[in-house]
Structure 1
């Protein structure tokens, strides 16, 4: 199927805007919040929507079932990047990328061989979230410092990486089964370019913070993919996407409220011990 030019342009502009937004949050607000928002259905939503637009809503819905488990491969990518990125600058980015992609491909190859449904796909990722959260428990929280991230080279890098990944995923979806299309849709389209930019400008410490908090944000992605898998074929792309974002937002707001309650509870306990 020939993809209309205005669809391609939309993919480009949306991808650029999302990556820029995450970079601003990391530099102006907090890498912790940026890590949580990296788990919001941004890149996945773009990929699944355009897969449904270019192929069919049913194909996108079938793909979304495998996206649920595909987030485990994304977690593996983060872990591989963190292990392999031994150093700052371009060398650290390249070694981190190589390690992350190897981990992602290994996990993806295994997941696409499984006969998954919505329940099993979700359970696989929930177990992976618990495992990686435990593994990252000792990683310190480091805030990124403002360094003028809106230079033209940074803009070009963000645009190029985000657009290339989106175009690659949606392009390959025309030639692969729905299982692979779904796993690819779980690829961190927005987080990976964000990690590269942050790594080049700030070093490995804030990158580790983003990766540490990424698993906590995956709940909203799971909600989104689950709703999309149920609604795309019956309600259409626009309504399914809207309902997916509603579910993801409610989960994220609830999760942040739970974290605030837990932090306040721990603070009260420390005060009681001190007194």
Structure 2
């Protein structure tokens, strides 16, 4: 099995599983799962295998800059949708992401990106907590049969584009695109359409909590990739991400 076939199999299966989990157990769990560095781990794994570990390490600062831009985009979307409809807010949020990602990648540095990402994570957790709670008694809108397949296709297509253009983009731009929430964004928008602001805010909250784990993933990867190899570094990075995400979610729930 080639890497091309692996991408075609793994990415849509992940989107399918997270979509079903979100439908069954709620938006917060879906947000937590999609907020974990699943897409980032896939992109970084493929970059390591196709371009080499030096290329992947060069992509880490850009990835953290991209992560800060992702949190800025969620913040923009959360507040913009108080005044705008979903469609214009999504388009403006995507444009905002491009500007923010370029600014963080070319005008910032590793530590600034981490600091801004953590600040925005705090803003998102606080702001989403002030949104109305989902009405558990309300009857949810009927799911369309094409919704999950559309999410699967969009996630797979973007992953293929990012990894296929890595040579042309270079490590900085490839890293900047790695944390694009190709799984989370469709989930957030579909949650907004299906459940209103309450469902969207719950999904955004889960993604913000998961982003703390994403930061840990990249830092572990940067520290261990050369010394311990691809498999161990990415596995340990994912383990740290899961532990931090679960711990933070539990602490916020108790609070």
Q: TM-score, normalised by structure 1?
A: 0.81
When normalised by structure 2's length, the TM-score is: 0.87
Q: Aligned partners of 2:31, 2:191: CA distance in 1, in Å?
A: 12
Map of 2:132 onto structure 1: 140
Q: Which moved more, 1:231-240 or 1:201-210?
A: 201-210
Contact kept? 2:187, 2:203, Cα under 8 Å = no
Deviation, 1:98, is 0.6
Any idea what the Cα deviations from partners look like across 1:194-251, whole Å, max 9, x if unmatched? 2343344444541232124422221111111111122223322111111111111221
Is 1:41 aligned with 2:37?
Answer: yes
Q: How does 1:150-229 map to 2 (within 5 A)?
A: 151=145, 153-229=146-222
Q: 1:143 to 1:239 in 2, by over 3 A?
A: farther
Q: Relative to 1, partners in 2 of residues 1:64 and 1:260: Cα closer, same or farther, differing over 3 Å?
A: same
Contact 1:73 1:108 in 2 (8 A): yes
Tell me how far apart the structure 2 counterparts of residues 173 and 97 of structure 1 sit (CA, whole Å).
26
**2:153 is paired with a residue of what secondary structure?**
helix
Question: Any idea what the Cα deviations from partners look like across 1:122-157, whole Å, max 9, x if unmatched?
Answer: 223112222333444422232686666482x22430
Moved over 6 A (4+): none
Looking at structure 2, the residues matched to 166 and 25 of structure 1 have their Cα atoms a distance apart, in angstroms, of 21
- Larger C-alpha radius of gyration, 1 or 2? 1
State the match for 2:123 in structure 1: 131
CA 141–128 in structure 1, closer or farther in 2 if over 3 Å, else same:
same
Q: Is the 8 A contact 2:134 2:195 kept in 1?
A: no
Query: Could you tell me how far apart the structure 2 residues matched to 1:85 and 1:22 are?
Result: 24
Q: Equivalent residue for 1:237?
A: 230
Aligned to 1:29: 25
Name the CA distance, whole Å, in 2 between partners of 1:232 and 1:46: 15
SS of match in other structure, 2:107: coil
Gaps of 5+ in 1: 263-275
1: distance between equivalents of 2:74 and 2:252? 22
Name the CA distance, whole Å, in 2 between partners of 1:179 and 1:150.
38
What's the secondary structure of 2:6's corresponding residue?
A: helix
Count of residues in correspondence between the two structures:
253
Deviates more, 1:191-200 or 1:223-232: 191-200
Separation in structure 2 between the aligned mates of residue 109 and residue 19 of structure 1, nearest angstrom: 27
